[in-house]
């Protein structure tokens, strides 16, 4: 049977690019989208993973969901609201934990698992001060290392792609802001523009392939040089 990839968030910009590139490479793809398969809800990731395991199994899994909490009041530590903190940690970090737990139980030996992080987990920038988002994305790093350590004995690799700004729905506030646009050459000096979702998906596809067979526990920047400032 054709190998199967599981993509969490096939409706998102990066998620849809991952679905397209996996399908083009000949993988069968199962995309989990809300509301039918909302893996931010307890138990859903395990239910879906168990079902996929009994339906031919899965050897690639990518977590691409995430939210910006700005609408709920995410911002500098001194101003971030309780609501933004709780919702962003739930959607961006807790769902990644549940996803990895399900993968470590149900993915095939030799699988590749990929998370999408963010340059904002590390760099601090006046125009991008979002305490909840930063902590949610930074929290994925030790989680990723622990999952990579646990998965290694079964040949399961766990890695992360860490973008800067990507031209998707999530980044529209920043991309439409004239001041931020004028800073592209400074923020992303390699290309002086945001990444496309496909550019992020290319790195995911490499990590998902056997070409990355010696790579696990890694955070791969796809950020146009964001963190080099
Ligand atoms: N865009 C950027 O500049 C950027 C930069 C660094 C990292 N990232 C990360 O890249 C990943 C993909 O984001 P994207 O750029 O592709 O953004 P996007 O196009 O807005 O897609 C976001 C995805 O997350 C899902 N989602 C959002 N809020 C959710 C919630 N409360 N519960 C369940 N699912 C939810 C969306 O589902 P619906 O379609 O149902 O809303 C969609 O599938 C995220 O982890 C994001 O943090 C993005």
Q: Which of 62, 52, 58, 71 is nearest to 14 (CA)?
A: 62
- Residue 2's pLDDT band, with cuts at 50, 70 and 90, is confident
User: Which of 33, 48, 67, 140 to probe ligand 1 with, by most ligand atoms within 8 A of CB?
Assistant: 67
In a domain, 228, yes or no: no
Phi-psi region of 57 (alpha: psi -120 to 50; beta: other; left: phi over 0): left
In a domain, 121, yes or no: yes
pLDDT at 1 over 90: no
Query: Per residue in 36-82, pLDDT tens?
Result: 999 999 999 999 999 999 999 999 999 999 999 999 999 999 999 99
* Average pLDDT of the segment spanning 171-190: 97
Say what the pLDDT of residue 69 is.
Answer: 97
| 141 close to ligand 1 (CB < 6 Angstrom) | no
Encoded tokens for 32: 């989990």
| 224 close to ligand 1 (CB < 6 Angstrom) | no
**DSSP state at residue 164:** S
Active site residue 133: yes
| Active-site choice (74, 133, 134, 205) | 133
The answer to whether the beta carbons of residues 229 and 122 sit under 8 Å apart is: no
Burial category of 229 from C-beta neighbours within 10 Å (exposed 0-12, middle 13-18, buried 19 and up)? exposed
Q: What is the number of domains present in the chain?
A: 1
Model pTM score = 0.98
In a domain, 199, yes or no: yes
| 68 close to ligand 1 (CB < 6 Angstrom) | no
Say what the pLDDT of residue 186 is.
Answer: 97
Query: Per residue in 95-141, pLDDT tens?
Result: 999 999 999 999 999 999 999 999 999 989 999 999 999 999 999 99
Range of the domain at 81: 4-219
Say what the pLDDT of residue 203 is.
Answer: 98
Say what the pLDDT of residue 153 is.
Answer: 98
In a domain, 88, yes or no: yes
In a domain, 229, yes or no: no
Report the helix count and the strand count for the chain, using DSSP H and E: 9, 6
Task: Report the CATH number that the domain containing residue 214 is assigned in CATH.
Answer: 3.40.50.720
In a domain, 43, yes or no: yes
Say what the pLDDT of residue 123 is.
Answer: 87
In a domain, 227, yes or no: no
pLDDT at 229 over 90: no
In a domain, 58, yes or no: yes
Q: What is the CA radius of gyration of the chain?
A: 17
């Amino acid at each position: 049977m054709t190998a199967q990839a599981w993509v969490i968030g096939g409706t998102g910009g990066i998620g849809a690019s991952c679905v397209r590139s996996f399908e083009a490479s000949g993988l069968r793809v199962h995309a989990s989208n809300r509301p039918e398969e909302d893996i931010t809800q307890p138990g859903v990731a395990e239910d879906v993973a168990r079902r996929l395991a009994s339906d031919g199994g899965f050897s690639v899994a990518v977590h691409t969901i995430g939210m910006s909490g700005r609408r709920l009041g995410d911002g500098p530590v001194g101003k971030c609201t309780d609501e933004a903190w709780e919702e962003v940690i739930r959607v961006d970090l807790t769902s990644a934990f549940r996803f990895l737990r399900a993968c470590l139980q149900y993915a095939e030996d030799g699988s590749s698992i990929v998370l999408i992080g963010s340059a904002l987990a590390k760099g601090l920038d006046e125009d991008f001060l979002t305490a909840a988002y930063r902590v949610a994305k930074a929290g994925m790093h030790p989680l990723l290392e622990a999952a990579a350590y646990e998965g290694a004995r079964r040949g399961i690799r766990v890695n992360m792609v860490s973008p800067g700004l990507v031209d998707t729905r999530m980044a529209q506030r920043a991309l439409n802001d004239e001041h931020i646009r004028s800073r592209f050459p400074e923020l992303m000096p390699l290309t002086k523009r945001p990444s496309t979702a496909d550019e992020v998906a290319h790195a995911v596809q490499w990590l998902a392939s056997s070409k990355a067979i010696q790579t696990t526990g890694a955070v791969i920047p796809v950020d146009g040089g964001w963190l080099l400032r």
